[in-house]
Structure 1
Amino acid sequence: MLKRVENDYVRREQDRIELLDDLFDIFYRAKIAEGIAERTLETYRENYRFFCGYLKSNDFELKLKSVTPSVIRNYITWMLKSKRKWNGHSHKPEKYQTEGLSPVTVNMRLKGLRTMFRFLHAEKLINSNPFANIKNVKETEGDINILSVNQLKKLIRAPDRTTYSGYRDFSMLILQIDTFCRVGEIVSLKKKDIDFERGIIRLRSTMTKSRRSRVLPISEYTMRLLRKLIDYTSKKSNSEYVFLTVYGEKMSANHFRSRLKKYAEAAGLDMRIYPYLLRHTGATMFLEANHNTRLLQLLLGHVDPRQVLRYTHLSSAYIKSEHEKHSPLNQVVK
Structure 2
Amino acid sequence: MSKKDEDGILMKVKKTVDFELLAEEYILMREAEVSKYTVNSIRRTLKHFLTCFDDALTEKSLKLKALQFLSGKNNEHYNKQLQALRGFLQYCASEGYLEANPCAAIKYKPHTNRIVQHSEEVIRKLLDAPDRNTWAGLRDYTAMILTLDTGIRPNELIQLCISDFDFANGYLYLRERVTKTKQKRTLPISDVCVSAIKKLIHYRHANWESQLVFCSWRGEEITTGDLRDRFRAYSKAIGTQITPYHLRHTFALYFLRNSSKTGVFALQKIMGHSKLEQTKNYVALLDADIQQAHQTASPIANLLGRGTGKKKAVLMKI
Q: Is the structural similarity TM-score above 0.5?
A: yes
Contact in 1 for aligned 2:115/2:249 (Cα 8 Å):
no
Matching of residues 99-118 of structure 1 within 5 Å:
100-118=72-90
Q: Distance in 2 between the 1:126 and 1:262 partners?
A: 46
Selected match of 1:35 from 33, 36, 49: 33
Report the secondary structure of 1:113's partner residue.
helix
Cα deviation 1:288-328 (Å, max 9, x = unaligned) = 2212111001100122222223455525444422566799x
* Distance in structure 2 (CA, Å) of the matches to 1:30 and 1:276: 29
Which of 207, 212, 231 is 1:241 aligned to?
212
Helix, strand or coil: the match of 1:298? helix
Distance in 1 (alpha carbons) for counterparts of 2:17 and 2:135: 55
How far the C-alpha of 1:181 sits from its partner, in A, is: 0.7
- Per the alignment, residue 310 of structure 2 pairs with none
> Is contact 1:185–1:207 with CA below 8 Å preserved after alignment?
yes
Structure-1 residue corresponding to 2:53? 55
Q: Which residue of 1 aligns with 2:191?
A: 220
1:259 pairs, out of 208, 218, 230, with: 230
* Residues 26, 237 of structure 1: alpha-carbon distance in 2 compared, 3 angstrom cutoff: closer
1:170–1:22 distance in 2 versus 1, CA, 3 Å:
closer
Cα gap change, 1:311 to 1:266, in 2 (>3 Å): same
Correspondent of 1:149 among 95, 100, 120 = 120
The root-mean-square deviation of aligned C-alpha atoms, in Å, is: 3.4
Closer, same or farther: CA 10–320 of 1 in aligned 2, 3 Å: farther
Mark the CA change 1:30 to 1:197 in structure 2 (over 3 Å): closer, same or farther. closer
Using the alignment, how far apart are the partners of 1:38 and 1:249 within structure 2?
16
Task: Say if 2:311 is the partner of 1:320.
Answer: no
| Paired letter, 2:105 | N
CA shift digits 1:139-197 (9 cap, x unpaired): 47365421111110111111233444333322211111001111222222221111111
Query: Given the superposition, is the C-alpha separation of residues 226 and 129 from structure 1 closer, same or farther in structure 2, using an over 3 Å criterion?
Result: closer
Map 1:119-158; keep pairs closer than 5 Å: 119-136=91-108, 138-139=109-110, 141=112, 144-158=115-129
- Structure of greater relative contact order (alpha carbons < 8 Å, 6+ residues apart): 2
Please say if 1:179 is aligned against 2:170. Answer: no
CA change 1:18–1:149 in 2 (3 A) is same
* Cα distance in structure 1, aligned partners of 2:208 and 2:19: 46
Hey, what does 1:16 align to over in structure 2?
Answer: 15
Conservation of the 8 A alpha-carbon contact between 1:17 and 1:23: no
CA distance in 2, matches of 1:240, 1:174: 20
Give 3-state SS (helix, strand or coil) of 2:14's partner. Answer: helix
- CA 246–127 in structure 1, closer or farther in 2 if over 3 Å, else same: closer
Unaligned regions of 5+ residues in structure 2, if any? Answer: 305-318
Report the AA paired with residue 196 of structure 1. Answer: F
| Residue of structure 2 in register with 1:274 after alignment | 243
TM-score, normalised with respect to structure 2: 0.78
Report % sequence identity.
Answer: 28
In the alignment, structure 1 residue 170 sits paired with structure 2 residue 141:
yes
Cα offsets for 1:22-67 (capped at 9, x unmatched): 54455444434x53333333333332233334434xx73x333432
The structure whose Rg is larger is 2
Paired with 1:228 and 1:200, the residues of 2 have a C-alpha distance of 16
Say how many residue pairs are matched. Answer: 295
Work out the CA distance in 2 between the residues paired with 1:54 and 1:164.
38
| Equivalent residue, structure 2, for 1:64 | 59
Instruction: Please state whether the residue corresponding to 2:187 is helix, strand or coil.
Output: strand
